[in-house]
Structure 1
Amino acid sequence: MPDLPLPPGSTIGVIGGGQLGRMLSQAASRLGFDVVILDPEENSPAGRVSRGQVVAAYDDPTALTVMGRVCQVVTFEFENVPAASMETLAEGGALVAPGPTALKVAQDRVEEKAFLNAVGAPTVDYHPVDSLDDLKAGLERLGTPAVLKTRREGYDGKGQVWIKSAKTAAAAWAAIGERPAVLEAKADFVRELSVIAARGWNGETAVYPLGENIHSGGVLKTTLAPAAVDAKTDRRARAIAKAVLDGLDYVGVIGVELFDLGDGVLRVNEIAPRVHNTGHWTQDGCVCDQFEQHIRAVAGWPLGPTTAHARVEMTNLLGDEVEQWSKLAAKSDARLHLYGKAEARPGRKMAHVNRVKNL
């Protein structure tokens, strides 16, 4: 295991070559690090801005051996990386951050909810579902409407279905492919908030101001930050973030999505053990953005400041919305972040724009 903090010139490995990996690589480069990406897609968005890319599956033994040998620390950009891959790297002596435990917890919605409630970060009521009979029992206990989600995978609204009547249980069970799932009670929330937080190897933590999120079709469309929240809500969100970080013995940046029920009462929707879409506003609203913060954390550097110096409206550009790039680039209050993806498929995240306003 290398000595920390890692000096400039060290190599950081990132598993995953999408836009988050790309922005992590760009942040690492600013701090003097080299970055190697592992991704099965040749010329991935992250690979094209990095020192190199290993083109292989995320669980390829040879590729993992190479990553462990050439990188002083290995991290990941999305939570569907096999936890076993991170375990293989750690067992081989590589420094891994966040650790495999965070992936295991975040990859299974039932395990995630059990963990969150155990550390004092409460969720909505839920019921594990492994069969149609389980689903019927859950609906009887939780009532309707309720949302049925696959236990594993699924993001941006995929792998889930709302159930408005117990009569549609069989159809809902079929709609998710009759896979292991979790039934969640409906959260009677005012709005959705999120908190981006970081923890270093020494247990130091840093928390960014909250963001308020607006979704469309199950996909995040806009984040407004810093969100207008009272002191009680802010304190509770920070306490939840710290409980999650400490409970996982976490190293790196994490995103925690929250349901705001009002009067300082929050419920955790889910956690993402990585830099997060709702934290993109920090690129233009804070001195140290979430991507640099993650690199600082995994490299053992001091965590950077999280105070906002501007108010930001972050908007995702999906599919052919990216064709607005020329018009957006001409706006004096907008900063455009393009992901370098070749194909603008419907619903695909192609870029985001941060509209910056004075506090």
Structure 2
Amino acid sequence: MTTVGILGGGQLARMLALAGAPLGLRFLVMDTQPDACAGQFAPLLVGDYRDEDALAEFASKVDVATFDFENVPAESAQWLSERVPVFPNPRALGLIQDRLAEKTLFRDAGVPVPEFADVTSREGLDAAIAAIGTPCILKTRRLGYDGKGQFRIRPDKAGATADDAWDALGAQAQTVGLILEAFVPFERELSVVAVRGRDGEFRTWPLTENWHVDGVLSASLAPARVDDALSTIAFDHARRLAERLDYVGVFALELFCHGGELLANELAPRVHNSGHWSIEGAETSQFENHMRAVLGRPLGATTMRGHACMLNWIGELPDADAVLQVAGGHWHDYGKLPRPGRKVGHATVRRDSAMELAQVLQRVGESLGRQDQVAPVVDALERSHS
């Protein structure tokens, strides 16, 4: 029996283990925290990702390894890859961990991106702002996620200034580095969730539309309200990047849609929050296909089963029965203690038609007192069929 090792023991590792069980797989999860939620479903090895003794023990017990979050040290993944196969490859992981290297990859691959500039000093920030203009966003090159490590600079007098941005992030210029990016007044946020096998086979799930609150994903709708031509462009961008990286496994390419053009925001080298709907809404979920890919098995079909919406639960779980009582309602509790800003679960509602989905989401939102969370999705569904 094959044992899959997962570096990182959060909800993504938990769902990978659940998806891999029907394939006859065993799992070993490594995490720095003894209460990592994936440990409720798979053996858990507690250790620092840079501890070679812990990594050696991990490597001795697995046949292949992957990871569930992008901040696993790339050098640890490289050390591990010299002992067991690791997918995605450590080079892809290391490149994507650096926003400057990532944006450069996009540009070199012919994937449109917002303007960007490396920032190493306070004077350099002024020069970058002069070149890019405002509004713009100062970000850490490494470690930021879910809206963390970012500061928006606005042109109006009441807005945040370059001094404010430097006060917030400047101390990190010489540690994790900084990048300035042009702000994109996008109409929609989209994502391509895709999978590439060891043999180079490439598949995508339908383009997904996403809504964020305070930088954290709130809801995802699939398929997105876009025409086939735009989907084809998005899929081509994802394929080109996967081939350049010799990528194996599932990833998500996050995109801004502005004026009919797609601009790449970032690439997540793992299964992704915006693909959670695929568990109930697709022939093969992102989690099962990630397992198939890293094992070199045939990839599963990514076609949709109707229309699906994923609602993210942040901080604490609402009443599960409000979702479970509706047709097509599915509940996912990550087994985490509630905490402000923490992803603790999600729900997916799947229906055969867009209007049925809109009606059920409306009822769920009213039952939970979360009308604001479902309203933009319902509005998108109704406008696309008006």
Q: What TM-score bracket applies, with the shorter chain setting the length?
A: over 0.9
The ranges of structure 1 where at least 4 consecutive aligned residues each deviate by more than 6 angstroms after the TM superposition are none
Structure 1 pair 208–285 and aligned structure 2 pair: CA distance change class (3 A): same
Which amino acid is the alignment partner of residue 153 of structure 1? Answer: L
**In structure 1, how many angstroms separate the alpha carbons of the residues matched to 2:89 and 2:197?**
12
Structure 1 pair 166–133 and aligned structure 2 pair: CA distance change class (3 A): farther
Which amino acid is the alignment partner of residue 325 of structure 1? Answer: A
Which 10-residue stretch deviates more, 9-18 or 165-174?
Answer: 165-174
Which amino acid is the alignment partner of residue 347 of structure 1? Answer: G
Structure 1 position 114 matched with structure 2 position 104: yes
| 1:289 aligns with one of 285, 288, 294 | 285
Query: Shift in Å at residue 140 of structure 1?
Result: 0.3
Query: Shift in Å at residue 157 of structure 1?
Result: 0.7
Alignment partner, residue 339 of structure 2: 345
Which amino acid is the alignment partner of residue 273 of structure 2? Answer: N
Higher RCO (Cα < 8 Å, 6 or more apart): 1
| 1:22 aligns with one of 14, 19, 31 | 14
Alignment partner, residue 181 of structure 1: 178
Alignment partner, residue 138 of structure 1: 128
Post-superposition CA distance 1:107-162 (Å, at most 9, x none): 11000000111112221110111111111001000110001111111111111010
| 1:355 aligns with one of 346, 349, 355 | 349
**Root-mean-square deviation (Å):** 1.3
Alignment partner, residue 172 of structure 1: 165
**In structure 2, how many angstroms separate the alpha carbons of the residues matched to 1:103 and 1:260?**
26
Query: Shift in Å at residue 182 of structure 1?
Result: 0.7
Which amino acid is the alignment partner of residue 146 of structure 1? Answer: C
Alignment partner, residue 213 of structure 1: 210
Post-superposition CA distance 1:210-231 (Å, at most 9, x none): 0000111111100010112111
Query: Shift in Å at residue 261 of structure 1?
Result: 1.8
Structure 1 position 311 matched with structure 2 position 307: yes
| 2:88 aligns with one of 74, 98, 116 | 98
Which amino acid is the alignment partner of residue 191 of structure 1? Answer: R
Post-superposition CA distance 1:288-341 (Å, at most 9, x none): 000001000000001110110121111101112x03224333333310011011
| 2:237 aligns with one of 233, 237, 240 | 240
Alignment partner, residue 331 of structure 1: 326
Structure 1 position 88 matched with structure 2 position 75: no
Unaligned runs of 5+ in 1: 1-8
Query: Shift in Å at residue 178 of structure 1?
Result: 2.5
Q: Give the TM-score of the pair, scaled to structure 1.
A: 0.94
Post-superposition CA distance 1:187-206 (Å, at most 9, x none): 13210100000111111111
**In structure 2, how many angstroms separate the alpha carbons of the residues matched to 1:45 and 1:330?**
26
Number of aligned residue pairs: give it.
Answer: 346
**In structure 2, how many angstroms separate the alpha carbons of the residues matched to 1:294 and 1:101?**
18
Query: Shift in Å at residue 166 of structure 1?
Result: 9.1
SS of residue paired to 1:12:
strand
Following superposition of structure 1 onto structure 2, how do residues 21-100 of structure 1 map, counting pairs within 5 Å? 21-50=13-42, 52-91=43-82, 93-100=83-90
**In structure 2, how many angstroms separate the alpha carbons of the residues matched to 1:266 and 1:165?**
24
**In structure 1, how many angstroms separate the alpha carbons of the residues matched to 2:166 and 2:155?**
13
| 1:198 aligns with one of 192, 195, 200 | 195
Unaligned runs of 5+ in 2: 354-386
**In structure 1, how many angstroms separate the alpha carbons of the residues matched to 2:57 and 2:197?**
25
Which 10-residue stretch deviates more, 148-157 or 41-50?
Answer: 41-50
Q: Give the TM-score of the pair, scaled to structure 2.
A: 0.87
Alignment partner, residue 357 of structure 2: none
Query: Shift in Å at residue 287 of structure 1?
Result: 1.4
Do the aligned residues in 1 keep the contact of 2:122 with 2:170 (CA within 8 Å)? no
